[in-house]
Amino acid sequence: MQIVSGIEEGTKTAVAIGKFDGVHSGHKKLIDEIMSYRDRGFRSLVFTFESPVGDFFTGEKSRSLTPNSEKIRLLDEAGVDFLYMMPVKSETVSCDPERFVRDILVSRLNAGVIAAGSDLSFGDRGAGDMSLLKSLSKEGGGDLPYTVSEIEKVRYKGEDISSTLVRDAVCRGDMERVADMLGRPYAIEQTVVHGDHLGKSIGMPTANQIPPDDKLLPPYGVYASTVYTREGVFRGITNIGVKPTVHDSETVSAETHIFDFDWDIYGESIRVGLKRFIRREMRFPDIEALKKQMEKDIMEAK
């Protein structure tokens, strides 16, 4: 997949528009749609944003389901040809909706097909919508040479799947529901770093990761997990939190004890998929009590 600022003349694209936070099942339906135009000579392109648009207006930094590095990997694995990430600044958020379609989607990205959900909004104050997008096309009576594909929402247990719905489930620690909506376990992707080596001293070594500040985390606690490494895929338990038994710290870490694993993976980037919530993080009276609880956690996870 190429990350682009524009498309060269002569290359036709089928463009999917969205925030793509989480790259959930609804987003995958959009991707499948633009990929279906390949046999007609179109290259697939995802249009999204470099950062959450809402952050520009609030001045605050929100947390994402998939920070950019994860989003890029997921879109690449989905087989997308091109990714365009629009910078979020005053000139872009205040762009006239019709100008956005003409100058960005058609002129810069060579869109011959545009796919989006029915709740599409774009341009200044979100004034652009699916109706405007259709009206500007030749099929809708306009002068622009593209067709519009309006994609119906994917539903889960009677609700439209959205990034907001996924975020709500993450914040409740309902990782089974999250996995159903994403089509994969919710994961932390980071390099393994050295910790305090307490796990190793009690016979339960852990792979320690420091999640990025902009990653949305579930409630602090212990989770059954699946760990993806260069060495293979393994099961484990993961503690997310600040380790109150060991020390008073505000640094949040994800520490995973990987079952039946004996490789040195310091410095390796691994993906830890959170499968199921086991218990809340808690402070124990001493290390021996912590060890006994970890043994129970391992049995439950297994």
In terms of residues, how long is the chain?
A: 302
What domains are defined for the chain?
A: 2-155 (3.40.50.620), 185-301 (2.40.30.30)
Mean pLDDT of 211-218: 95
What pLDDT was estimated at residue 64?
A: 95
Whether the predicted pLDDT of 80 surpasses 80: yes
- pLDDT interval class at 245 (50, 70, 90): low
Contacts of 90 (CB under 8 A, 6+ apart): 56
What pLDDT was estimated at residue 248?
A: 62
- The per-residue pLDDT of the chain, averaged, comes to 92
Mean pLDDT of 82-103: 92
- pLDDT interval class at 127 (50, 70, 90): confident
- Find which of 6-15, 49-58, 203-212, 256-265 is predicted with most confidence, using mean pLDDT: 6-15
pTM of whole model > 0.85?
Answer: yes
What pLDDT was estimated at residue 172?
A: 97
Q: What is the pLDDT of residues 11-39, one digit of tens each?
A: 999 999 999 999 999 999 999 999 999 99
Q: What is the pLDDT of residues 104-116, one digit of tens each?
A: 999 999 999 999 9
Whether the predicted pLDDT of 201 surpasses 70: no
For the packed helices 163-172 and 175-182, what is the interaxial angle rounded to 10 degrees?
160
- pLDDT interval class at 247 (50, 70, 90): low
- Taking residue 242's Cβ as centre, other Cβ atoms within 10 Å add up to 15
Give ∠ CA 278-280-284 in degrees, rounded to 5: 115
